[in-house]
Amino acid sequence: MAGQLVASGGAFVAGLKSEAIGTYRRMYDGRKELLSQIMKLDIPSDKRTERYFFYLSAPHIVRWGRGEALRHKAFGGIRFEVENFEYARAINWRRIDREDDLSKGLVERARDLGQSIGLLDERIAFQILGNATDSDLLASIPNAPDGRTLFHANDVGSGNRFGVSGGNKVGDGTTAGSASGLTTTAQVKTDYYATRRRFVDMQDTEGQPLHNPSTADGQAVLIYPSTYTQIVHETFLRERVVEGSSTPTNVIQEAGLAPTLWTTQRLTATDWFVFLAASEHRSIFSQAREGIRTIMSTAETGSDIAKETGVEGIQFEVRKGYGVMTPYTSVMVDNSAGGW
């Protein structure tokens, strides 16, 4: 069994008690409710690589004039693939340390590693959002089925993505860092309304509105870097917003457009993101090939290494894949020159 052992040190001093034994206990179950509003979780998978296919917009009905031949129109589709990967980690310790652990927390803490698998979806979602390099998670960021990155102004040709100038990026649509900024409530409000308008203006492949009004004006989730918590709260949570010499009522609240706020340390630039939670469609997804496997290595479970060395361990494995759907329910506010 390879790997470093858990450091025991003073944790096994006879009679040791700890009132804060759960200080670093990691609990993630509550995160899924929020994450599911921006990401479709655990689509069932039964093979190493899943092939997905969806049709483009069907033709819209038109007038059939008297004496005219019925008009026909075909529509196409897009196919893409998502591979499943193995994610795993093991922790090792000495048998005598476990037996001398009066706090009885060693194995329990090691099992917390299994709970951290519950954070895997969130970690990868933010890797995709941040367009970040992290070979421990995804070797590369997947493109959307249209061949573009998650956030882009144009389609695969020279046209506007989703039929609207700027696509699903707020700014000028082409220059990174071209949104209003993230230092005043006026800037945040301007760009937030730009995202809401972007959802309204998006078109299907037949040139008709992509979202129905109740969806486009429905519940949204706003994800932003924790550095800017104060300015974001002042924009969306205050009943009155200071604008110059006046303090008008908060029109975002009055219009019923206030989003669910998600602050995170995982974003470090000035870019932020709005997801249309009112839609059933999600821009990011995970697929589940195999659930969590837990393997204990002790003399009692037949581990030869544990018998010969006295080193025990616990191992967790899971097989999952991650991809990007056509991202018309997410818009990026591009304030950072180093953005997408």
Conformational region of residue 61, where left means phi above 0, alpha means psi within -120 to 50, and beta covers everything else: beta
pLDDT(16) > 60: no
Supply the pLDDT for residue 157: 77
- This prediction has a pTM of 0.84
pLDDT by residue (tens digit) across 290-335? 998 888 888 888 888 889 999 988 888 999 999 999 999 999 999 9
- For the stretch 162-200, pLDDT in tens is 999 999 999 865 666 688 999 999 999 999 999 999 999
> Contact at 8 Å (CB) between 331 and 195?
yes
What fold characterizes domain 31-56+80-333?
phage-related protein like fold (3.90.1690)
Res. 218 pLDDT band, cuts 50 70 90: very high
Q: What is the pLDDT of residue 327?
A: 96
**pLDDT score, position 226:** 97
Q: What does the pLDDT read at residue 106? A: 72
- Average pLDDT estimate for 113-131: 89
Q: What percent of the chain has pLDDT over 70?
A: 84
- How high does pLDDT run on average in the chain? 85
Instruction: Tell how far CA 177 is from the center of its chain.
Output: 22
> What residues contact residue 298 under an 8 Å CB cut-off, 6+ apart?
95, 306, 312
Give me the residue label for tokens 């990155």: 149
Task: With a cut of 50, say whether residue 17 has pLDDT above it.
Answer: no
Q: What is the mean pLDDT of residues 28-33?
A: 77
In the structure, what pLDDT confidence band is assigned to residue 75 with cuts at 50, 70 and 90?
A: low
Confidence of residue 10 (pLDDT cuts 50, 70, 90): very low
Dihedral of alpha carbons 88, 93, 95, 97, sign: negative
Q: How far apart are CA 271 and CA 74, in angstroms?
A: 40
Tell me the sheet residues that pair with 311. Answer: 94
Looking at residue 14, its pLDDT comes to: 41
Q: What are residue 49's DSSP bridge partners?
A: 83
Helix (H), strand (E) counts: the chain: 9, 10
* Nearest-angstrom CA–CA distance, 114 and 136: 16
Tell me the per-residue pLDDT of 269-282, one tens digit each, with 9 for 90 and over: 999 999 999 999 99
Top-confidence residue, 172 or 128: 128
- Is the pLDDT reported for residue 1 higher than 70? no
Model confidence at 115: pLDDT above 90: no
**Lowest-confidence region among 76-80, 171-175, 209-213:** 171-175
3-state secondary structure of 222: strand
Read off the pLDDT of residues 43-68 as tens digits, 9 standing for 90 and up. Answer: 999 999 999 887 776 677 777 878 77
Nearest alpha carbon to residue 160 among 208, 169, 78, 73: 169
Query: Where residue 235 falls among pLDDT bands split at 50, 70, 90?
Result: very high
* Domain boundaries, given as residue ranges, for the chain: 31-56+80-333
Specify the pLDDT at position 9.
Answer: 46
Binned at pLDDT 50, 70 and 90, residue 11 comes out as: very low
Instruction: Tell whether the model's pLDDT for residue 79 goes beyond 60.
Output: yes
- Sheet holding 272-275: strands in order across? 169-170, 330-333, 272-275, 221-225, 260-264
User: How many other CB atoms sit within 10 Å of the CB of residue 105?
Assistant: 15
**pLDDT computed for residue 339 by the predictor:** 56
pLDDT classification of 20: cutoffs 50, 70, 90? very low
Q: What is the DSSP letter of 15?
A: T
